[in-house]
A = this chain, B = another copy of it.
Amino acid sequence: MTGKPKLETVAREAGVSIATASQVMRGAGRISDKTRSKVLKAAQKLHYVPDNRAASMRSGQNREIGFVINKISNPFNAEVISGVSDLLEAEGYLVSVLDARDDPDRQGRHIDAFIRNGRGGLLWVPAEQTPHKTFDLLTAHRIPTVTFLRRPEGSGFDHVGIRNAEATALATHHLAGLGHRHIAYLGGEELTAVRRERIAGYEATMSERDLGPAVIWDSNDIKQAGMEAMMALRAAHPETTAVVCNGDIVALGACHGIRRLGLEPGRDVSVVGFDDIPDAAVATPPLTTMAVSPYQLGRRLARVMLERLSEPDGPVSVSEVSAELVLRATTGPV
């Protein structure tokens, strides 16, 4: 075996032309069964693997989809990735994941490389502070793009997201219904679009039901930080009896913090999370949280991409999924 076998090698081995070999490999054109099997046999014998670069360059098609996401380790994201790839792989596409870690530069490099390699489509959670030229680049190169979770304003891309404001409103109503009046919003650091929406839902409900005053407390998105933030929050606002959290990880941290203060989550202070990550169900006590099935969300995302791919000039689709309140043990009456 000397050098990578190419279509020419296979064709020669099978005693046919390159064009014929190509058609057999793609299952296209009109080829007799006899020559088809001849070519197939030759390809197998030589361990022929087609070169996608040449193929996609010539055909203008590429069944590789990129998924630019921001925290690969978040179990929620991981499930989304599973949903996305299960569906797309079943359709013969291949999904590769790029973690931008919320850094616009890194994201830019990824998308650049993506365009350079002529990939077939892009699933994308745009980093906050994404420069405009990134959008322009994608539109200019006519890359089928679906944004996820974060919807850059004025973008003409398809989008799949979560009804954030609705979800936190629901959570706040739930707590208010249990008699809580001093409900705080805990978690997140910067005013990202998603967080802004969630806070809006919370604040709207607070003023609608005349509760208050609204308290927003920042926290980094790790357990430890959530714990510390909860303790600091209670120190500053001892009247707080319930918190709506920006995410489950912070919520779980908050529960630890409550314990540290000698109190019991769900009895003394109620906590609602967001995401319903696997740990939420098995934590002690199990976490009440806003759930959207990430796997299903991933499938939805994939479906939108498939539609866009099959109809490049179809209408822009924007779909938002509602979150459900999953009642567990961290919320209770005052």
Stretch at the interface among A8-16, A47-55, A176-184, A263-271: A47-55
- Taking a contact as CB atoms closer than 8 A, the residue among B1, B4, B81, B94 that contacts A109 in the complex is B94
A218-264 residues at the B interface, CB under 8 angstroms:
222-224, 227, 253, 256, 259
Can you list 12 A-B contacts with CB-CB less than 8 angstroms, sorted by A residue number?
Answer: A4-B141, A49-B137, A49-B141, A51-B116, A52-B117, A72-B97, A73-B77, A82-B99, A96-B96, A117-B117, A223-B279, A256-B282
Residues of chain B with a CB closer than 8 A to A223's CB:
278-279, 282
Chain A 48-90, CB-CB to B under 8 Å as 1, else 0, gives: 0111111011000000101000011111011101100100010
A194-213 residues at the B interface, CB under 8 angstroms:
none
| Docked complex Cα distance between A202 and B8 (Å) | 55
- Asked if A31 lies at the interface with its beta carbon under 8 angstroms from chain B, I say no
| Docked complex Cα distance between A106 and B85 (Å) | 10
Residue from A53, A97, A106, A222 having most chain B Cβ neighbours under 10 A = A53
- Asked if A41 lies at the interface with its beta carbon under 8 angstroms from chain B, I say no
Residues of chain B with a CB closer than 8 A to A99's CB:
78, 81-82, 85, 97
Inter-chain contact B282/A66, CB cutoff 8 Å: no
Given known contacts A52-B117, A113-B64, is B284 in contact with A256 (CB within 8 Å)?
yes
Inter-chain contact A282/B49, CB cutoff 8 Å: no
Inter-chain contact B78/A94, CB cutoff 8 Å: no
In the complex, residue of chain B having the shortest beta-carbon distance to the beta carbon of A78: B73
Residues of chain B with a CB closer than 8 A to A106's CB:
89
Inter-chain contact B79/A73, CB cutoff 8 Å: yes
In the complex, residue of chain B having the shortest beta-carbon distance to the beta carbon of A115: B49
Chain A 108-142, CB-CB to B under 8 Å as 1, else 0, gives: 01101101111000000000000000001100110
Inter-chain contact A50/B116, CB cutoff 8 Å: yes
Residues of chain B with a CB closer than 8 A to A1's CB:
140
- Asked if A303 lies at the interface with its beta carbon under 8 angstroms from chain B, I say no
Inter-chain contact B224/A282, CB cutoff 8 Å: yes
Residues of chain B with a CB closer than 8 A to A224's CB:
278, 281-282
- Asked if A98 lies at the interface with its beta carbon under 8 angstroms from chain B, I say yes
Inter-chain contact A47/B137, CB cutoff 8 Å: yes
Question: What 8 pairs between A and B have smallest CB-CB spacing?
Answer: A73-B78, A52-B116, A53-B53, A96-B96, A97-B97, A52-B117, A94-B113, A53-B57
Inter-chain contact B117/A282, CB cutoff 8 Å: no
A133-188 residues at the B interface, CB under 8 angstroms:
136-137, 140-141
Inter-chain contact A117/B47, CB cutoff 8 Å: no
Residues of chain B with a CB closer than 8 A to A78's CB:
71-73, 99
Q: How close is A57's CB to chain B, nearest CB, in angstroms?
A: 5
| Docked complex Cα distance between A98 and B89 (Å) | 12
| Docked complex Cα distance between A259 and B283 (Å) | 12
In the complex, residue of chain B having the shortest beta-carbon distance to the beta carbon of A49: B115
| Docked complex Cα distance between A112 and B77 (Å) | 25
Residues of chain B with a CB closer than 8 A to A118's CB:
51-53
Residues of chain B with a CB closer than 8 A to A73's CB:
72-75, 77-79
| Docked complex Cα distance between A117 and B51 (Å) | 6
